[in-house]
A and B are shown apart, each in its own frame.
Chain A
């Protein structure tokens, strides 16, 4: 009988502890300014140009530079390794607390449509599971995680490797009363200066080239993202940054994928801009991997993108 009570006490103590920990993590993660989804809900950014997508735009497009070129305020909402569902939820939360931007520049490439590239990072949304939109996206994109989340604290335990550090940092930000993130305008300069051998490893893995596979879930969330932006009166542009030319020979169906992306753009009456004719695409000097330019390449690309945006703004202001 004594043992039975001990087990019962342990069980209830654990439940209380899990409940408490869940609240503590929830609080801490919402106070971490470096987490974009937390920051965009606390601060009014109200950018006029929003850059969005995975790591490529995050490391390549400096809003500071864009602001100078275009004369409009911009913000980089992109996140590393994020897929369209991830991007969709970030845009959804951005629009909840901020005025809708005038322009959304959204990064889309054949890689974005393939499940082997990028992913849905469930842990980023763990504190927001109570929101029905988040709940339904997670249910669809990470069912393995979803079946555990009703257990107290499990929403944080499941991906704790990605969360513990952020939670500790969140508490630090709370006690230090920190309001601004480390990267204020969302842009993170490329962390790597040297070529990272990604292409060599890729060729070793796929000596006869790699055929991209179109994923319908990715397409669904790309469409949802475009629709969400359009509902909020945002002018959407899809774009693809320069791809290192020597890598193209190992991607036999790249063109087919690009055509399908163009078809989506046409369906929604939006522009899909490719920066495939830029000179930098011909040399490794400007890249750290096939898709990611280094700091030198990023500066050149941001200039081109800025010029394009400026021209588009000009067109919008003077339609004739």
Chain B
């Protein structure tokens, strides 16, 4: 049951309606039950795995205060879950355990969806409790709800326990919540169905069948993939935020116009904010604090470790390693040249320079995303090689337009132009659209406009999942 399916539309409509009618004190029990059904819908093994982990963390949190060994044990178990999940994701047959008497096979699908996001929340919870920044939750139901709150379960946003659990007792749903939530949900559906899913086939065509394409084609596909991933993941986040808001909860926003960043460090402050906040709080800052005596090296080692962990979180493989190395280089370079760059940008502080910075950062991010998207390290290298050696296609139409349009017909070309036009227009007016959506007033023009665009240009039969569901 993905967020875009007839079954889910029916599911969410009923849940929001029933939740709205329920007295506030019963709501969290209801949403908890719904969350369990949602997780169990993927498969019953997922539900069992999630419940076992939740119980483990809930009871462990009560024992870890002043017990460093138990705290480290808890962290290790959760970290192991992330590593195993990513290992399963990178293999096809699961892992076979064999002992003298017992032999069993863990299939990759037994591992719960969203386990990476979910384990990060557990790590945050144990750390907060251990460092006495919060008291261990006494009510199991509230903790389970924090873990399996279905809008954020699959792909976040990653919430710190204190940010979420405090909302359970103060659950209020006003008309404004419903309006804003619905408008956000609609924005998410629009981004996913009209923009991300329309871009996906062109990106797939180049990244998955890359053998004959020119460098320019590959470069355009790399640009389109970055834009597709942004629409896909921010669309998911908008939908999660919208649903949560209609259920009386506020989740953290994950994106703040990241494609307008003028530096890579700024990009990481605007992209997947909840995950980066987590990494910053639980990895970067502790490392920098520990190495505070080595002022120049400390941030560099902090960046190195943060991206190393980020790589493991995203997946185990050379492609993610290369992606992480790219960002380590970018950020270390920025860190080392901060002073010179600040002086330079003060001297040349005009919109043209700003656009140039945005363009450079966008290209750097797209370059690293070639590794992120490629099916293998060799493929990524081949793609980069084509950009360097075989840039201009022999025939502009057959070499550039046809592969990205996925077909050589007028209709494919028409669809490609429409997709690019819609994407560019959206990126240009994104801030204005964001203001409309986040206002508490119902905007008929926005609702009608977006529903019409979804119906006329949305992809209903893609069957594609959200990109970040794999993590």
Contact = CB atoms under 8 A, between A and B. Distances in A.
A9 B444 contact: yes
Interface stretch (B56-64, B134-142, B448-456): B448-456
Contacts of B364: none
Most chain B beta carbons < 10 A, residue from A17, A18, A157: A157
A11 to B, nearest CB: 9
Query: Chain B, interface size: which category?
Result: 20 to 34
Contacts of B451: 14
A144 B461 contact: yes
Contacts of B448: 10, 13-14, 17
A192 B212 CA distance: 16
A160 B442 contact: no
B280 interface: no
A166 B211 CA distance: 32
Interface string A191-216: 11000010001000000000000000
Given A10-B447, A13-B448, A164 B457 contact: yes
A288 to B, nearest CB: 12
A6 interface: yes
A75 interface: no
Contacts of A192: 408
A221 interface: no
Contacts of A162: 411
A201 B212 CA distance: 12
Interface string B411-452: 100110010000000000000000000000010100110011
Interface in A34-93: none
A17 B408 CA distance: 33
Contacts of B457: 160, 164
B460 interface: yes
B460 A148 contact: yes
A153 interface: yes
Nearest to B212: A197
A165 interface: yes
B455 A18 contact: yes
B27 to A, nearest CB: 22
Given A144-B461, A147-B6, A160-B457, A6 B408 contact: no
A166 B442 contact: no
B349 to A, nearest CB: 44
B179 interface: yes
A128 interface: no
A3 interface: yes
Interface string A135-165: 0000000001101100001100111111011
A256 interface: no
B410 interface: yes
Most chain A beta carbons < 10 A, residue from B418, B456, B458: B456
Nearest to B419: A161
Contacts of A158: 460-461
A237 to B, nearest CB: 30
A108 to B, nearest CB: 26
Contacts of B418: 164
A164 B414 contact: yes
A133 to B, nearest CB: 23
Contact of B455 (A9, A157, A166): A157
A21 B456 CA distance: 9
A184 interface: no
B283 interface: no
Contacts of A14: 448, 451-452
Contacts of B37: none
A7 interface: yes
Contacts of A13: 444, 448
A154 B457 CA distance: 12
Given A144-B461, A161-B415, A165-B410, A10 B455 contact: no
B459 interface: yes
Interface of B: 6, 175, 179, 198, 209, 211-212, 408, 410-411, 414-415, 418, 442, 444, 447-448, 451-452, 455-461
Q: Which 8 A-B pairs have the closest CB atoms?
A: A157-B455, A165-B411, A165-B414, A158-B460, A6-B442, A10-B444, A10-B447, A3-B442
Given A9-B444, A157-B455, A192-B408, 15 more contacts: A3-B175, A6-B442, A10-B444, A13-B444, A21-B456, A148-B6, A148-B460, A157-B460, A159-B461, A160-B456, A161-B198, A161-B459, A162-B411, A164-B415, A164-B456
21 contacts: A3-B442, A6-B444, A7-B442, A10-B444, A10-B447, A10-B448, A13-B444, A14-B448, A18-B455, A21-B455, A144-B461, A153-B455, A157-B458, A157-B460, A160-B460, A161-B459, A162-B411, A164-B456, A165-B415, A192-B408, A197-B211
